[in-house]
Structure 1
Amino acid sequence: MLIRCAFFRGRAKPGCEDQFTRYVRERLVPLWTRFPGAEEVRVLRQEEADVAEPRFEMVLQVRYPSREAIETALASDVRYESREVTKGLLELYEGDIFHTVFRADDHALPTD
């Protein structure tokens, strides 16, 4: 399986934290969950870290079964729609955004 992540390295603008959260939940999550081929969508919000920098306001994690599924999602109308809607989020955010694709292997926990 492959996981494509969008790292929001930075923070919500001061005083915009709640608005940032609502915007993601109400405007973007409904689009991200419609990406074709997506098997799971997670929105990670940094609670704490053992280093001061980098700070990640959010990480979007979308799981796909294959590279072809990622390519289909990236070419989809809903992805382009989400990019337009993300422009509104950027008004509430200071930092940068970058994407990474990870190969993921699941490992069962011991049952003892």
Structure 2
Amino acid sequence: MITRFALFQGRIRDGQDAAFRAAILSEVLPEWQAFPGALSVRVNFAEFRDDGAPSIPMILAISYPDLDTVHAALASPARTRAKAATEAVLARFFDGQIHHHVTTAHDHDLTPA
């Protein structure tokens, strides 16, 4: 499985955490879920971090079966719509940058059988 992470490095404007989270889930999540071939979408909101760690208030993880599907999703109209929705929310609540990382996942389930 391939997972593409978006790390939102920066800060949510003062007093806007709840509004930011609500806007992401209501305005942007449906657009991310529309990516063709996506197997799962995970939105992770930060609760705390190690001392000295960079501020990353949100991490998005979208998983795909393979790299070809990632490339197709990134070339799709769904990505164009998702990018516009993301930028609109960020303009209201977020100061920082986004960087992306594509990884090969190796899950090791610890749930008892």
Corresponding position of 2:15: 15
Aligned-residue CA RMSD in angstroms? 1.5
Count of matched residue pairs: 112
- Within 2, Cα distance between the matches of 1:109 and 1:16? 36
Secondary structure of 2:58's aligned partner: strand
Maintained 8 Å contact 2:31/2:85: no
With over 3 angstroms needed to count, the CA separation of the structure-2 counterparts of 1:110 and 1:97, relative to structure 1, is: closer
| Range with bigger deviation, 32-41 or 16-25 | 16-25
| Range with bigger deviation, 85-94 or 63-72 | 85-94
Q: Matches of residues 27-42 of structure 1 in structure 2 within 5 Å?
A: 27-42=27-42
Structure 2 unaligned residues grouped into runs of 5+: none
- Within 1, Cα distance between the matches of 2:105 and 2:38? 15
Which segments of structure 1 move beyond 6 Å, counting only runs of 4 or more?
none
TM normalised by structure 2 equals 0.91
**Alpha-carbon displacement from aligned partner over 1:17-48 (angstroms, at most 9, x marks no partner):** 22211110111001101100100100011112
Identity of aligned residues (%): 35
Output the amino acid matched with 1:45.
Answer: F
- Within 1, Cα distance between the matches of 2:87 and 2:104? 29
Corresponding position of 2:97: 96
Aligned pair 1:73/2:67, yes or no?
A: no
Structure 1 unaligned residues grouped into runs of 5+: none
